[in-house]
Structure 1
Amino acid sequence: MDILDMTGRTVLVTGAGQGVGRQVALHCAAYGAAVVVNDFHADRAEAVAAEITGGGGTAVGLRCDVTDLDAVTAMLDEAARAVGPVDVLVNNAGNAGPAEDPLAHTPPFWETGPKDWEPWIATNFYGVLNASRAVLPGMVERGYGRIVTVISDAGRTGEPNLAVYGGAKAGAAGFSRGLAKAVGRHGVTVNCVALSTVETPGIAPAIADPEVAKKMLRSYVVRRLGQPSDAANAVLFLASDAASWVTGQTYPVNGGYAITP
Structure 2
Amino acid sequence: MKTPNLRIGTTSYILADDILPNVRYLAPLVDDIELVLFESEGMSNLPSKQVIDELAALATQHDLTYTVHFPLDLYPGSSDPSLRSACVSSLLSIIELTRSLKPFGYVLHLTPELYGPLPSLDVGRWHVCVDETLQTLLKRTDVDPSMFCIETLSYPFSSVQDLVERYNLSVTLDIGHIWLMGYDSDKAMDALFRRTRICHLHGVREKTDHLGLDQGDQAAIEHFLHRLVSQGNCDGRERVLTLEVFSEEQFHASLSLLGQTHAMMN
- Please state which band the TM-score falls in when normalised by the shorter chain: 0.3 to 0.5
Q: TM-score, normalised by structure 2?
A: 0.37
